[in-house]
Amino acid sequence: MVTIPDIPVARNTAAIRSENVCRHYHMGQNLIRAVDGVSLQIQTGEFVALLGSSGSGKSSMLNLIAGLDRPTSGSVVVQDRDLAKLSREELAKYRLHVVGMVFQSFNLIPTMTLSENVELPLRFAEVDRHQRQARAQEALERVGLGQRMKHRPSELSGGEQQRAALARALINRPRLLLADEPTGNLDSRTGTEIMEMVRHFNRELGMTVVMVTHERALAERYAQRMIFLADGKLVDDQPNAAASSTAPGGQHEAS
Amino acid sequence: MKLPDLTELALRNLSESFLRNSLTTLGISVGVASLVAMLSLGTGLQASILKRLTKSGLFDTVFVSSRREMRGMPREEERNGPAPGESRILDESARTEMERLPNVAEANPDIRFVSELRYEDKPHLTTISALPPSAKSNDAFEGMQGNFFSSDTAAEAILQKSFAEELLGKRPALGAPEPSISELAAPLLGKELTMRYAQRAPSSPEPSPGPEAQKPDEDFAAASYSVISREQKLKIIGISDLDPESMRGPARARVFLPLKLAESLHVMQPTDIREISQAASGQPVYSSISVRVKDPSRVQPVEDAIKKMGFTAFSILDASRSLQQVFRVLYAFLGIFGSLALAVASIGIVNTLVMAILERRREIGIMKAIGASDRDVQLLFFAEAGAMGILGGIVGVVLGWAIGQIINFGTNIYLKSQSLPPEHFWAVPWWLVVFSIAFAFVVSLLSGLYPAGRAARLDPVQALRYE
């Protein structure tokens, strides 16, 4: 069922490694250095927060890791794949099978029902209809939306929409969960609900999580490690003892 | 993505902006309808004209004449053959030889002469022509009053309408309505005509009654013959509306006799004088022969075989070949005009899809972020264009067919009011249905080429940046 062969990954090996990665672009006459020589390593199973003010390059960095964007120079290696060397087609496959993404604005397709939204990645993976529906149902049940399958996103609250988006991110059983301000549009109670789920996937399924946020409190509460960016550069990288200590010892591999 | 998924997503995307996509599809329908209308008009016209030509009996006929007739007018194709002066004589033995050629139904001599016909003691001069019994099925006799010849030797005559008018002294004034054929037939049918003609007879004192009576040893007699003035009574049994010899041009005959009767009369024909020095075999010599071929498609080999025998042969096939050329040009023109509307419709598709990209920019970004490849996005837009093409094609064919039916209905009402037989100028053959839908599909896919490519290349980061 897993379309990309499972590479046995040991704990505490690098899931993501970037070396002097840059993403520059032109805006009119100005050269914008969105990401400017960032080198970092994220271990398999880690929960990392990318912090910084707006324009610090944290979202650009996340897009590079997600394979949505290509670095101007330097390299991003995710599970031994150098993303800069992948073709557009291979990058799409990478996004499909290795990465799950959630966004601040949920990004569900408004004309589709929840189950259709959730099973959309399986369509791209050419999974047959029968299996698709079963897996969408399972994923939605896991985020507590088993009864809302036939609803359209506009009929749901923000928290419910983000849960559906989480279900969609997990449907292809990715190794990597990338979250771009996942609680930015939610009140603190539903935000907490979402974050608890993310933590659950990190711990129970062994997924590596990279979350972009500007809320330091949120990062301190959930992330094991906090990486600070400013003007496209890495300015600080510190473990978060509080969150790490709560991590249980015996974690399962992703199924 | 798999095809069923693509189709499903494409159709639901199309139904999301239902009005806009319906209008675009309607545009394709109108384009296809105009194409179908134009091409079916072309096919209908062609079928209707070919049917007339086939029914006229001239389509399966090869006209044969001696090369001697061609003296002084060497055509290019004739130059290669023997010189006209020495070529074969078109006589009875040549006729039977032609009749024995494969695929030949019959070979009849063309007998035509100018003669005087007396009706109620008034003389009328006209061209007279002989018809074989097979001419009965000729289209020209469709609206005939009276009957066809009772036998091939009967002393009977069929008159052409204009000659009937002449006999009755009813030359219509210019612009006045023509007298109807039944009006003309009533006083003439069953009446008697007296034909005065010049018989060519061997110089022996007794005129022989038939061609068979001529003995082979009468070489000398045939070479020098006398001309005797004779009379023959003819019964008018039919008045024909149309001209069965309409393809013959100025030499058209207005009175028709049964072929065997005409042969037995030994009427002197203009060509006989020329033949005096050559007609030594004692056989009848013909100025021309009509060879009827069993199947119109076999005309060419028969024509070639006759040419090989050393005669000049001509068939309507030669004419129909250039007719087909004309139809090909007509088709191309009709096709181009029909396609114009489809071309306009295809711009509509491009426009609709480019609009859709703008509207669904974010959706495309989302799909790419969760793993859609460039190809998936491209195929999705292709599927939308293709679906509009097929739907438009189907609706268009139905529309075009309906327009054709209405026009057929309309023209037939008009034809009926003019007391003409109904015609189907409009025919939608099945290949046109398949071709039109396929063409609409291909045109739509081509129109989708640019929008689909543009959607596929959309940068997901840009697409997701803005709300």
B377-404 tens-digit pLDDT: 999 999 999 999 999 999 999 998 888 8
Measured from the Cβ of residue A30, the count of other Cβ atoms closer than 10 Å reads 8
Token pair for B357: 């990209």
> Model confidence over A140-184: pLDDT tens digits?
999 999 899 999 999 999 999 999 999 999 999 899 999 999 999
Segment B29-35 mean pLDDT: 91
Q: What distance in Å separates the CA atoms of residue B348 and residue B351, rounded to the nearest whole number? A: 5
Are B13 and A111 an interchain contact pair (Cβ–Cβ within 8 Å)? yes
What count of other Cβ atoms lies within 10 Å of the Cβ of residue B42? 23
Decide if B87 contacts B81 (C-beta within 8 A): yes
Q: How far apart are CA A123 and CA A97, in angstroms?
A: 12
Instruction: Report the alpha-carbon distance of residue B402 to residue B389 in Å, rounded.
Output: 19
- For chain A, give the mean pLDDT: 88
String of b and e for B70-108 (b: at least 16 CB within 10 Å)? Answer: eeeeeeeebeebeebeebbbbbbebbebbeebeebebbb
Q: Chain A residues with CB inside 8 Å of B461's CB?
A: 63, 68-69
- Measure the N-to-C terminal CA separation of chain B; round to a whole number of Å: 27
Contact A2, A253 (CB under 8 A): no
Q: Where are the domains of chain A?
A: 108-173
The whole-angstrom distance between B405's CA and the closest CA on chain A is 42
Helix (H) or strand (E) holding B93: helix B92-99
pLDDT > 90 fraction of chain A, expressed in percent and rounded? 75
Rounded distance between C-alpha atoms, residue B67 and residue B63, angstroms: 12
- Condensed to tens digits (0 to 9), the pLDDT of residues A63-115 reads 999 999 999 999 999 988 899 899 999 999 999 999 999 999 999 999 999 99
Contact A179, A212 (CB under 8 A): yes
Instruction: Measure CA B443 to chain center.
Output: 33
Tell me how crowded residue B29 is: count the other CB atoms within 10 A of its CB: 26
User: Angle formed by the axes of helices B316-359 and B374-417, to 10°?
Assistant: 140
> Which range among B83-92, B146-155, B182-191, B201-210 shows the weakest confidence by mean pLDDT?
B201-210
Exposed, middle or buried by CB within 10 Å (0-12, 13-18, 19+), for B217? Answer: exposed
Residue A225 identity: R
* Distances, alpha carbon B458 to alpha carbons A67, A94, B372, B373, B375, in Å: 14, 18, 12, 11, 12
Instruction: Report pLDDT for B302.
Output: 85
Question: Can you point out the beta strands (E) in B110-155?
Answer: 112-119, 122-131, 145-146
Q: Compute the average pLDDT of residues B341-362.
A: 90
Contact A93 B368 (CB under 8 A): no
Q: Average per-residue pLDDT in chain B? A: 79
How far apart are the C-alpha atoms of B154 and B131, rounded to whole Å? 12
Q: Give me the mean pLDDT over the B424-444 stretch.
A: 86
Taking the model in full, what pTM does it have? Answer: 0.68
pLDDT confidence tier of residue A222, bands split at 50, 70 and 90: very high
Q: How far apart are CA A235 and CA A229, in angstroms?
A: 5
Contacts of A103 in chain B (CB under 8 A): 369, 464
SS3 A76: strand
Q: What percent of chain B clears pLDDT 70, i.e. is strictly above it?
A: 77
A121 touches chain B (CB under 8 A): yes
The pair phi, psi for residue B466, each rounded to 5°, is -100, 150
Interface test with B, best of A35, A65, A120 (most B CBs within 10 A): A120
Are the CB atoms for B278 and B89 separated by under 8 Å? yes
The backbone torsions φ and ψ at residue A159, rounded to the nearest 5 degrees and listed phi first, read -60, -40
Contact list, B455 vs chain A (CB under 8 Å) = none
**Strand pairing report for A73-78 and A14-27:** antiparallel
- Comparing B322 with B133, which gets the higher pLDDT? B133
Which runs of consecutive H residues, i.e. helices, occur in B168-277? 181-188, 219-223, 259-265, 272-275
Report yes or no: B242 and B230 within 8 Å, Cβ to Cβ: no
pLDDT digits (tens, 9 = 90+) for B354-383: 999 999 999 999 999 999 999 999 999 999
Residue B342 has pLDDT above 60, yes or no: yes
Top mean-pLDDT range of A202-211, B74-83, B201-210 = A202-211
**Which of A95, A107, A108 is the closest to B371 by Cβ?**
A95
A 10 A CB-CB count for A123 gives 21
Q: Which residue has the higher pLDDT, B435 or B315?
A: B435
- Does the CB of A38 have a partner CB in chain B at under 8 Å? no
Q: Residue B35 carries which side chain, given as an amino acid letter?
A: L
- Nearest-neighbour CA in chain B from A11: distance (Å): 26
For A:196-255, CB contacts with B below 8 A are none
* B6 min Cα distance to partner chain A (Å): 9
Show the tokens assigned to A210. Answer: 């990279």
Which residue reads 């060879």 in tokens?
A: B291
Of A2-11, A182-191, B19-28, which gets the smallest average pLDDT? Answer: A2-11
CA distance B384 to chain A (A): 16
Contact A123 B368 (CB under 8 A): no
Asked if residue A119 lies in contact with residue A132, where contact means CB atoms within 8 angstroms, the answer is yes
Q: Residue B153: is its pLDDT beyond 70?
A: yes
Q: Which of residues 348-377 of B touch A (CB under 8 A)?
A: 362-363, 365-376
Please write the tens of the pLDDT for every residue from B237-288: 888 876 655 544 445 678 888 888 888 887 776 655 444 444 455 667 777 8
